[in-house]
Amino acid sequence: MNRSVLRARRAACVILAIITAVCAAFAAMTVGASAGTLIKYDISYKGSYVYLTLTPQKSTNTIYYTTNGKMPTKSSAKYAKKLAAKSEVTVTAVEYNRSGSKVASLKAVIKPKVSAPAITAAQEDGSARITIKCGTSGAKIYYTTDGSSPTQKSKLYSGSFLCSDGVTVKARAYKSGMKASGVAAFKVNAVSPEQQVLDIVNKERTSRGLSKLVMSDKLCRAAALRAKETAVKFDHTRPDGTSCFTVFSEYGITYMAAAENIAAGQRSPEEVMDDWMHSTGHRGNILSDRYGSFGIGIYTDGGTTYWVQLFTN
């Protein structure tokens, strides 16, 4: 029995994307002698809230505001921290200097932004079944599959649908009284990562005159279990202390010769296969003429993906 370990780099790339947008419905008010001066403002979004931050022209100035449509006075609410809203609201604000003169103003209609849709895909008969969800209750989702940006004139999402390989699905959610969400995009890859690994394996084998390996359902299920186990203990010894090859009996797999390749941290089938092919032991298993059946297991935990190949004759 041939086994080898690839102690690959463990890397998890976390990308934090912060999206801010400025509400288009702003209009300056004419107040006193400072008719054209606008109070400095910033709009931000988090979850189902919209936040309005006001900044006085000078730190010694004071801002008063209302949300009932009336003109603020010095007896109105004093601005002290950013204002939060979960529904459309009109904020009217006036800034006074230390002498009590009005120096700036603002009238802002702010709307919370609908949560960006989440697009997921499940493999189905060589295609991908697309599901789109939005975290904002009552929002309507519109989508496109031609690369254009969705609008309310695009196709209304009413349920999952099939898409072919290479298609880019874009979606945007709308809800009355709220700012439209950002555009979510998802490129369909109808070929599963498991199939991609096998395709690369067989490309390497046939380029050397070797026969193709055949994907085995039982071996894939065994490899899937082993992938989860390597997230607990990255070794050919299972978490219960037994050999990796004991997994075969759990799935009724018989063999005369068998091998296992494991890896962790790679972010794609291409990357893990490149690492395996540059490791003597792993490459030997992949290119061995002793094996005809193949299984692949992939498991992601804590941002790290674990990969397991199983080979039998």
Task: Read off the pLDDT of residues 270-287 as tens digits, 9 standing for 90 and up.
Answer: 999 999 999 999 999 999
Cα–Cα distance for residue pair 234/226, rounded to 1 Å? 10
Task: Read off the pLDDT of residues 99-108 as tens digits, 9 standing for 90 and up.
Answer: 999 999 999 9
Cα–Cα distance for residue pair 37/30, rounded to 1 Å? 8
Spatial strand order of the sheet with 184-187 comes to 155-156, 140-144, 168-174, 184-187
Cα–Cα distance for residue pair 294/311, rounded to 1 Å? 5
What is each CA distance from 179 to 15, 20, 53, 133, 138, in whole angstroms? 25, 12, 18, 17, 14
Segment 125-137 shows an average pLDDT of 86
**The pLDDT of residue 28:** 32
Provide the token pair at 39. Answer: 């109070």
Examine the pLDDT at 82 and tell me if it is beyond 90: yes
Provide the token pair at 306. Answer: 């674990």
Cα–Cα distance for residue pair 166/253, rounded to 1 Å? 36
What is each CA distance from 250 to 160, 168, 218, 231, 262, in whole angstroms? 36, 40, 10, 19, 19
pLDDT band for position 1 (cuts 50, 70, 90): low
Please say whether the dihedral angle defined by the alpha carbons of residues 71, 73, 79 and 85, taken in this order, is positive or negative: negative
Provide the token pair at 129. Answer: 């079944």
Cα–Cα distance for residue pair 164/137, rounded to 1 Å? 29
Q: Among 14-23, 95-104, 232-241, whose mean pLDDT is lowest?
A: 14-23
Spatial strand order of the sheet with 26-27 comes to 26-27, 102-110, 89-96, 62-66, 77-78
Provide the token pair at 239. Answer: 């978490």
Give the mean pLDDT of the chain: 87
- For the entire predicted model, the pTM comes to 0.48
**The pLDDT of residue 86:** 87
Segment 119-144 shows an average pLDDT of 88
Angle between helices 193-206 and 269-277 (to 10 degrees): 40
Q: Among 34-38, 53-57, 232-236, 254-258, whose mean pLDDT is lowest?
A: 34-38
Residue with tokens 């969400």: 181
- Strand 293-301 and strand 184-187: the pairing is unpaired
Cα–Cα–Cα angle for 292, 305, 132, nearest 5°? 105
pLDDT band for position 9 (cuts 50, 70, 90): very low
Spatial strand order of the sheet with 2-5 comes to 2-5, 258-264, 304-312, 293-301, 214-215
Task: Read off the pLDDT of residues 145-193 as tens digits, 9 standing for 90 and up.
Answer: 999 999 999 999 999 999 888 899 999 999 998 999 999 999 987 678 8
Cα–Cα distance for residue pair 282/266, rounded to 1 Å? 15
Cα–Cα distance for residue pair 236/229, rounded to 1 Å? 10
Residue with tokens 């709308």: 174
Examine the pLDDT at 64 and tell me if it is beyond 80: yes
pLDDT band for position 16 (cuts 50, 70, 90): very low
